[in-house]
């Protein structure tokens, strides 16, 4: 049997196709976590595929569910009168007293519900079923053991029908995954939804017969329903051979031993104001000159500011953008969903020749939620996306030091990058000067020289080496003749 596609973006990929056919699956979570929307989305997708799908609601009536559903889902529901069925038990619930122990054939008795499911399965050839708010069945039970026994029996009925079913429940404090401590055991799979502040997550806790990624995955509810942004491994591009390319600055190519290789990831670490963003703009030029697509990701400046800065340096990014050759995005750190951002990057890098990240440090500020991946892991995922797409990348990094070679927090990025360039301020005879050096080049040889560089109109100029000066990258340069004089004095 083929897997059953849930229609939930990201979840089907996590399950390598969908839910195993004919199983019973528990979706658990707190209030407002998205359980009902997920169940409804599952049924809608089935109906759209021509599969008879039944949504049984025990807590909210059909009108409330439709009203609370995202806009696009409401539109899809209206088009699916033929294959999408609703059974509303909320009216029956109000007719019975919560103070009375359930009778043998009460309005919300599991026996009644089981018989209805069995009959609908046979008469309407059901393929999918969702029971939303299963906890409502237990309202009138005083005997917990009997309730658990009945829930177990309901699970057996659902499995015998062969209908791929989902039950949703609001977990209690006593049980992490369920309300009554039995639901997770009768289920073939358990999916836990959570909402903390403005962050949502989905975690597959159990899935019989399926491998799945562990841990909480970022989740979002949009107008068309639930989206999951799962952590994943990325394959390296199989492009070969790797042609040598210009970095975009003649003197930098010299320091790099002739340039960079296609698909390289280069890290430029620099002090504030050292010219990193300008290096980024120069990096885009070789691709744009050849009419190849580029992407610039900026956190510190708006898209308009980057376009204005580029224009001042002789690069018409706005014009290239109108030609479809340049994308400039300026996400907000405050609103950034890290997992979603990686997925968007992956999509935008298709067919993109070069990308600039300005700056990598800003992602650390976005990874503040306890369930977010660690900063190091995030960098690894991002570089994995670059390698998968074969895009030549430039990562800018803000050094924590105005002067000097201190690089706390950058070492892991340096380890993953193919090339590492350092930009530093140097104090020399009561003047600030800019210094550049290549710390690392993975393929080929590079110059070990430390050179001075200047920012002139429309370009960066790489000057000569610091003759007779030591301690340049420490930030406090001293001239060799001064050291000799002090030695003999």
Average pLDDT over the chain reads: 86
- The percent of residues above 90 in pLDDT, for the chain, comes to 54
CA dihedral 55, 58, 64, 65 (to 10 degrees): -30
Task: Give the mean pLDDT of 22-37.
Answer: 93
> What is the pLDDT confidence band of residue 328, given thresholds at 50, 70 and 90?
very high
Q: Could you give the residue range(s) of every CATH 3.40.50.300 domain in the chain?
A: 11-229, 244-485
Neighbours of 1 (CB within 10 A): 8
Q: Which of 127-131, 261-265, 289-293, 472-476 has the lowest mean pLDDT?
A: 472-476
pLDDT level of residue 404 (50, 70, 90 thresholds): low
Query: Is residue 133 a contact partner of residue 169, using CB atoms and an 8 Å limit?
Result: yes
* pLDDT attached to residue 102: 40
Superfamily of domain 11-229: P-loop containing nucleotide triphosphate hydrolases (3.40.50.300)
- Once rounded to an integer, what is the mean pLDDT over residues 95-120? 62
CB 195 within 8 Å of CB 32 = yes
d(C-alpha 98, C-alpha 137), whole Å: 11
Q: Which tens digits make up the pLDDT trace of 165-181?
A: 999 998 776 667 777 67
CB distance 430 to 444 below 8 Å: no
Neighbouring-strand partners of residue 25: 166, 189
Q: Which CATH superfamily is domain 244-485 in?
A: P-loop containing nucleotide triphosphate hydrolases (3.40.50.300)
pLDDT at 55 over 90: yes
Q: Where are the alpha helices (DSSP H) in 55-188?
A: 62-68, 71-78, 90-95, 110-124, 144-161, 183-186
Q: Which of 422, 439, 433, 476 is nearest to 455 (CA)?
A: 433
Predicted local confidence at residue 231, as pLDDT: 82
This prediction's pTM: 0.81
Residue 143 predicted with pLDDT over 50: yes
Local confidence band at 101 (pLDDT 50, 70, 90 cut-offs)? very low
Q: Which pLDDT score is estimated for 38? A: 97
Site of tokens 């599991």: 110
Rounded CA gap, 118 and 122, in Å?
6
Separation between Cα atoms, residue 342 and residue 340, nearest integer Å: 5
Residue 182 CA, distance from chain mean position: 33
pLDDT band at 136 (very low <50, low <70, confident <90, very high): confident
Q: Is pLDDT above 60 for 273?
A: yes
Q: How many percent of the chain have pLDDT more than 70?
A: 86
Query: Does the pLDDT at position 357 exceed 80?
Result: yes
Task: Give yes or no for residue 478 having a pLDDT over 60.
Answer: yes
CA 141 to chain centre: 43
The pLDDT value recorded for residue 489 is: 46
Strand duo 244-245 + 128-132: pairing: unpaired
Tokens of residue 147, six digits = 């309730």
| Total residues belonging to the chain | 489
pLDDT in tens, 59-87: 888 889 989 999 999 999 988 877 899 98
At 488, the pLDDT band (50, 70, 90 cuts) reads very low
Positive or negative, the Cα torsion across 113, 119, 121, 125? negative
Helix boundaries (H) for 2-58: 11-14, 35-48
Does 238 have pLDDT greater than 70? Answer: no
Asked whether residue 408 carries a pLDDT value surpassing 90, the answer given is: no
Confidence check: pLDDT of 99 > 70: no
pLDDT at 486 over 50: no
pLDDT higher at 202 or 364: 202
**Ranges assigned E (strand) in 311-391:** 326-329, 354-358
Structure confidence at residue 457 as a pLDDT band (50, 70, 90): confident
- Check: CB of residue 59 under 8 Å from CB of residue 30: no
State the Rg of the chain over Cα: 30
How far is CA 2 from each of CA 16, 163, 164, 227, rounded to the nearest angstrom?
11, 13, 12, 22
What per-residue confidence (pLDDT) applies to 91?
62
Examine the pLDDT at 241 and tell me if it is beyond 70: no
pLDDT at 463 over 90: yes
Q: What span, in angstroms and rounded, lies between the C-alpha atoms of 434 and 70? A: 54
Q: Residue 212 pLDDT more than 60?
A: yes
pLDDT level of residue 153 (50, 70, 90 thresholds):
confident
Q: 């962050």: which residue's tokens?
A: 199
């Amino acid at each position: 049997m083929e897997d059953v596609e849930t229609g939930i973006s990201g979840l089907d990929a996590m399950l390598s196709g969908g839910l195993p056919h004919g199983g019973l699956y528990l979706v658990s979570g707190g209030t407002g976590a998205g359980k009902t929307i997920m169940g409804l989305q599952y049924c809608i997708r089935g109906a759209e595929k021509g599969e008879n799908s039944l949504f049984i609601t025990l807590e909210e009536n059909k009108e409330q569910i439709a009203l609370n559903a995202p806009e696009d889902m409401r539109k899809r529901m209206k088009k699916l009168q033929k294959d999408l069925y609703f059974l509303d038990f909320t009216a029956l619930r109000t007719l019975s007293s919560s103070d009375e122990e359930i009778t043998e054939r009460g309005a919300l008795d599991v026996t009644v519900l089981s018989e209805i499911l069995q009959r609908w399965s046979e008469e309407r050839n059901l393929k999918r079923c969702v029971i939303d708010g299963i906890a409502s069945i237990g309202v009138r039970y005083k005997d917990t053991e009997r309730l658990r026994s009945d829930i177990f029996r309901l699970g057996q009925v659902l499995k015998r029908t062969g209908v791929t079913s989902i039950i949703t429940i609001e977990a209690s404090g006593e049980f992490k995954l369920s309300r009554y401590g039995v639901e997770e055991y009768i289920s073939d799979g358990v999916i836990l939804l959570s909402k903390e502040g403005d962050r949502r997550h989905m975690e597959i806790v159990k899935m019989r017969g399926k491998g799945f990624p562990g841990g909480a995955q970022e989740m979002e509810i949009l107008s068309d329903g639930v989206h999951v942004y799962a952590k994943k491994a990325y394959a390296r591009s199989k492009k070969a051979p790797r042609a040598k390319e210009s970095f975009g600055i003649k003197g930098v190519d010299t320091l790099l031993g002739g340039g960079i290789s296609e698909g390289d990831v280069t890290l430029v670490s620099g002090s504030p104001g050292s010219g990193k963003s300008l290096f980024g703009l120069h990096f885009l030029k070789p691709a744009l000159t050849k009419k190849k697509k580029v992407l610039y990701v900026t956190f510190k400046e708006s898209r308009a500011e980057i376009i204005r800065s580029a224009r001042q340096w002789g690069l018409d990014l706005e014009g290239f953008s109108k030609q479809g050759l340049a994308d400039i995005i300026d996400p907000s750190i405050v609103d950034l969903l890290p997992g979603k951002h990686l997925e968007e990057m992956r999509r935008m890098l298709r067919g993109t020749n070069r990308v600039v990240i300005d700056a990598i440090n800003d992602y650390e500020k976005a990874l503040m939620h306890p369930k977010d991946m660690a900063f190091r892991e995030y960098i690894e995922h991002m570089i994995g996306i670059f390698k998968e797409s074969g895009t030549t990348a430039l990562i800018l990094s803000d050094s924590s030091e105005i002067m000097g070679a201190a690089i706390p927090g950058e070492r892991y990025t340096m380890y993953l990058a193919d090339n590492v360039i350092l930009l530093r301020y140097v104090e020399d005879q009561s003047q600030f000067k800019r210094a550049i050096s290549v710390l690392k080049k993975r393929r080929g040889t590079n110059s070990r020289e430390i050179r001075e560089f200047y920012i002139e109109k429309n370009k960066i100029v790489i000057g000569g080496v610091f003759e007779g000066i030591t301690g340049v990258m420490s930030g406090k340069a001293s001239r060799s003749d001064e050291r000799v004089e002090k030695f003999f004095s």
